[in-house]
Amino acid sequence: MKRKIAMLILALSLAISATACGSDNKEKSSEPEKKEETSKEETSEKMEDNLVKQEISENNEPEHTMIIEPEYEDGSIEKEIQDYAANVISENYTDTDIQQIEINENLGTEEDGDYIILTRLIWNTKNSGHTSKEMLEMYSSDFAARIGNEQPSVNEVAIFWTVPYLDSANAKWAYERNGDGMYLSDNMMDSVFNQ
């Protein structure tokens, strides 16, 4: 508990320090100042939220604990798929927060036991729209490939991304199973990703 409090205090002091350092770079107009202050406040709150979700193990390394909605019954196929997807995301995609991983039965197939994964992710890296598009495309393709290889009961994957740094721009990649692999079936994104 003492370590959690120490981590929270450290994060808050870093947020305050970042706010103080950023005050020299403010523009003269009052509107950008308000927007900048709001974004720093949101960043501070987000840091607090992330710290609350972090625990320190015995060897002083952070262990991330996630609460992913919706919550499925332990031992269910939905819970197994959701846990696998969460592990793939948290272990492989930097600066990515999981907002939701929903597992639905695929009612569009004749066989029982076919599932669809709907993921809602937030990518927190400051990049241009074009670079963000390339990274999210790579992450989405990798995620679909891993699901396709390791979760044979999943025959569709949809990944919805939000990028706060790009004015909360949105993008979507969808994949369908064809044999042993997943193939891109749909892609949509805001125009900011083409800049």
Q: What angle do CA 88, 76, 69 make, to 5 degrees?
A: 55
**Confidence at residue 66, expressed as pLDDT on a 0 to 100 scale:** 54
- Fill in the DSSP letter of residue 120: E
Which element (helix H / strand E) includes 19?
Answer: helix 2-22
* pLDDT at residue 69 in the model: 72
Q: Please write the tens of the pLDDT for every residue from 57-101.
A: 344 443 444 567 778 888 899 999 999 999 999 999 989 999 999
- Main-chain dihedrals φ then ψ at residue 113, nearest 5 degrees: 85, 15
Is residue 113 predicted with pLDDT exceeding 70? Answer: yes
pTM metric for this prediction: 0.65
Alpha carbon distance 106, 127 (integer Å): 35
Reported as a single tens digit per residue, the pLDDT across 12-49 is: 444 444 434 443 333 333 444 444 444 444 434 443 44
Q: What pLDDT is stored for residue 106 in this prediction?
A: 84
Sign of CA dihedral 189, 192, 193, 195: positive
What pLDDT does 90 receive? Answer: 94
Does residue 114 contact residue 153 with C-beta atoms inside 8 Å? yes
Residue 194: pLDDT band with limits 50, 70, 90: confident
Q: Which residue has the tokens 């004015």?
A: 167
pLDDT: which is higher, 120 or 20: 120
Asked if 130 contacts 195 with a C-beta cutoff of 8 angstroms, the reply is yes
Q: What is the pLDDT of residues 138-181, one digit of tens each?
A: 999 999 999 999 999 999 999 999 999 999 999 999 999 998 88
